[in-house]
Chains A and B, each alone.
Chain A
Amino acid sequence: MTIHLKIWRQKDSNTPGRLVDYTLDDVNPDMSFLEMLDWLNERLMNEGKEPVEFDHDCREGICGSCNLVLNGMAHGPYEATAVCQLHMRKYKDGDTIVVEPWRAKAFPMIKDLVVDRSAFDRIMAAGGYISVNTGAPADANAIPVDKYNADLAFDYAACIGCGACVAACPNSSASLFTGAKISQLAHLPQGNPERKRRVVRMVDQMAEEGFGDCSNYAECEAVCPAEISITSIAKMRREYFNALSEIE
Chain B
Amino acid sequence: MTVSNNGTLNSRVPDGNLQDKWDNHKNNLRLVNPANKRKFTVLVVGTGLAGASAAASLAELGYNVKAFTILDSPRRSHSIAAQGGINAAKNYPNDGDTIWRLFHDTIKGGDYRSREANVYRLAQVSNSIIDQCVAQGVPFAREYGGLLDNRSFGGAQVSRTFYARGQTGQQLLLGAYSAMMRQVATGKIQMFPRREMLDLVKVDGKAKGIVTRNLTTGEIERYAGDAVLLCTGGYGNVYYLSTMAKNCNATAIWRCYKRGAQFGNPSFTQIHPTCIPVSGKYQSKLTLMSESLRNDGRVWVPMKKGDNRPPNEIPEEDRDYYLERRYPSFGNLAPRDVSSRSAKYVCDEGRGVGKSGLAVYMDFADSIKRLGADVIRARYGNLFAMYEKITAENPYEVPMRIFPAVHFTMGGLWVDYNLSSNIPGLYVLGEANFADHGGNRLGASALMQGLADGYFVIPYTLSDYLAENLHSEKIGTDHEAFDKAEKETTDRISKLLNVKGKKTVLDFHRELGDLMWDNVGMSRNRENLESVIKKISELREEFWKDVNIPGENNTLNKYLEYALRVADYMELGELMARDALDREESCGGHFREEHQTEDGEAVRDDENFSNVSSWEYKGEDKEPEKHVEDLNFEFVTPTQRSYK
A and B in contact, CB less than 8 Å: yes
Residues of A within 8 A of B (CB): 11-12, 28, 30-32, 34-36, 38-39, 41-42, 44-46, 48-51, 53, 55-65, 81, 85, 87, 89, 110-111, 114, 116-118, 120-121, 124-126, 128-141, 143-147, 150, 153-154, 157-158, 160-161, 184-185, 188, 190-191
Docked complex Cα distance between A89 and B145 (Å):
45
| CB of B279 within 8 Å of the partner chain | yes
Can you list 25 A-B pairs with a CB-CB distance of less than 8 A? A28-B280, A30-B279, A30-B392, A58-B81, A61-B386, A62-B170, A63-B81, A63-B245, A64-B75, A65-B72, A110-B556, A111-B555, A120-B73, A124-B75, A128-B181, A129-B136, A130-B135, A130-B178, A131-B182, A132-B179, A137-B131, A137-B134, A140-B90, A144-B146, A158-B167
Shortest 6 CB-CB distances between A and B: which pairs? A144-B146, A129-B178, A137-B135, A134-B57, A140-B134, A154-B139
Docked complex Cα distance between A133 and B502 (Å):
53
Is the Cβ of A188 less than 8 Å from the Cβ of B137? Answer: yes
Docked complex Cα distance between A184 and B279 (Å):
38
CB distance from A147 to the nearest CB of B (A): 5
Contact residues of B between 374 and 395, Cβ < 8 Å to A: 386, 389-390, 392
Question: In the complex, which residues of chain A have a beta carbon less than 8 angstroms from the beta carbon of B74?
Answer: 121
CB < 8 Å: which of A34, A63, A121, A128 contacts B284? Answer: A34
CB distance from A227 to the nearest CB of B (A): 11
| CB of B506 within 8 Å of the partner chain | yes
| CB of B544 within 8 Å of the partner chain | no
CB < 8 Å: which of A30, A62, A120, A131 contacts B167? Answer: A62
Docked complex Cα distance between A120 and B456 (Å):
28
| CB of B295 within 8 Å of the partner chain | no
When each residue 103-147 of chain B gets 1 if its CB lies under 8 Å from chain A and 0 otherwise, what string results? 000000000000000000000000010111111110111111111
Is the Cβ of A121 less than 8 Å from the Cβ of B191? Answer: yes
Docked complex Cα distance between A9 and B296 (Å):
48
Q: With contacts A56-B246, A117-B72 known, is A38 near B282, CB below 8 A?
A: yes
CB distance from B283 to the nearest CB of A (A): 7
CB < 8 Å: which of B56, B137, B143, B247 contacts A190? Answer: B137
CB distance from A169 to the nearest CB of B (A): 20
Question: In the complex, which residues of chain B have a beta carbon less than 8 angstroms from the beta carbon of A120?
Answer: 73
CB distance from A141 to the nearest CB of B (A): 5
Q: With contacts A124-B177, A136-B131 known, is A141 near B148, CB below 8 A?
A: yes
Is the Cβ of A144 less than 8 Å from the Cβ of B137? Answer: no
Question: In the complex, which residues of chain B have a beta carbon less than 8 angstroms from the beta carbon of A191?
Answer: 137
Docked complex Cα distance between A191 and B216 (Å):
36
Closest residue of B by beta carbon distance from A190:
B137
CB distance from A230 to the nearest CB of B (A): 20
A interface: dominant SS: loop
Is the Cβ of B131 less than 8 Å from the Cβ of A157? Answer: no
Question: In the complex, which residues of chain B have a beta carbon less than 8 angstroms from the beta carbon of A153?
Answer: 137, 139
Is the Cβ of A87 less than 8 Å from the Cβ of B136? Answer: no
| CB of B1 within 8 Å of the partner chain | no
Is the Cβ of B193 less than 8 Å from the Cβ of A51? Answer: no
Question: In the complex, which residues of chain A have a beta carbon less than 8 angstroms from the beta carbon of B143?
Answer: 147
Is the Cβ of A38 less than 8 Å from the Cβ of B182? Answer: no
Docked complex Cα distance between A50 and B282 (Å):
19
Question: In the complex, which residues of chain B have a beta carbon less than 8 angstroms from the beta carbon of A48?
Answer: 550
Question: In the complex, which residues of chain B have a beta carbon less than 8 angstroms from the beta carbon of A110?
Answer: 216, 556
Residues of B within 8 A of A (CB): 53, 56-57, 60, 71-78, 80-81, 90, 92, 128, 130-137, 139-148, 164-165, 167, 170-171, 174, 177-179, 181-182, 184-185, 191, 193, 216, 245-247, 279-280, 282-285, 287, 386, 389-390, 392, 455-456, 459, 502, 504, 506, 548, 550-551, 555-559
Question: In the complex, which residues of chain B have a beta carbon less than 8 angstroms from the beta carbon of A85?
Answer: 386, 389-390
CB < 8 Å: which of B56, B73, B502 contacts A118? Answer: B73
User: By CB atoms of chain A within 10 A, which of B71, B177, B550 has the most?
Assistant: B550
Docked complex Cα distance between A111 and B559 (Å):
14
Docked complex Cα distance between A234 and B548 (Å):
52
Q: With contacts A114-B556, A121-B73, A124-B181 known, is A136 near B128, CB below 8 A?
A: yes
User: By CB atoms of chain A within 10 A, which of B76, B90, B130, B245 has the most?
Assistant: B76
CB < 8 Å: which of B148, B182, B390, B392 contacts A140? Answer: B148
Docked complex Cα distance between A65 and B181 (Å):
18
Is the Cβ of A138 less than 8 Å from the Cβ of B72? Answer: no
Docked complex Cα distance between A55 and B459 (Å):
33
Question: In the complex, which residues of chain B have a beta carbon less than 8 angstroms from the beta carbon of A35?
Answer: 282-284
Is the Cβ of B145 less than 8 Å from the Cβ of A144? Answer: yes
Is the Cβ of B551 less than 8 Å from the Cβ of A50? Answer: yes
Docked complex Cα distance between A131 and B137 (Å):
10
Is the Cβ of B551 less than 8 Å from the Cβ of A124? Answer: no
Is the Cβ of A63 less than 8 Å from the Cβ of B76? Answer: yes
CB < 8 Å: which of B53, B133, B386 contacts A60? Answer: B386
Question: In the complex, which residues of chain A have a beta carbon less than 8 angstroms from the beta carbon of B130?
Answer: 140
Closest residue of A by beta carbon distance from B284:
A35
Is the Cβ of A140 less than 8 Å from the Cβ of B185? Answer: no
Is the Cβ of A147 less than 8 Å from the Cβ of B146? Answer: yes
Closest residue of B by beta carbon distance from A120:
B73
Question: In the complex, which residues of chain B have a beta carbon less than 8 angstroms from the beta carbon of A158?
Answer: 165, 167, 170
Docked complex Cα distance between A212 and B81 (Å):
31
Q: With contacts A59-B284, A89-B392, A138-B135 known, is A121 near B75, CB below 8 A?
A: yes
Is the Cβ of B389 less than 8 Å from the Cβ of A81? Answer: yes
Is the Cβ of A134 less than 8 Å from the Cβ of B287? Answer: no
User: By CB atoms of chain B within 10 A, which of A30, A49, A60, A125 has the most?
Assistant: A60
Is the Cβ of A150 less than 8 Å from the Cβ of B78? Answer: no
Is the Cβ of A128 less than 8 Å from the Cβ of B178? Answer: yes
Question: In the complex, which residues of chain A have a beta carbon less than 8 angstroms from the beta carbon of B78?
Answer: 57-58, 63
Docked complex Cα distance between A191 and B139 (Å):
13
CB < 8 Å: which of B71, B73, B556 contacts A111? Answer: B556
Docked complex Cα distance between A135 and B392 (Å):
47
Given A44-B550, A60-B285, A144-B147, 11 more A-B residue pairs with CB atoms under 8 Å apart are: A12-B555, A38-B284, A57-B76, A58-B245, A65-B76, A121-B181, A124-B177, A140-B130, A157-B171, A190-B137, A191-B137
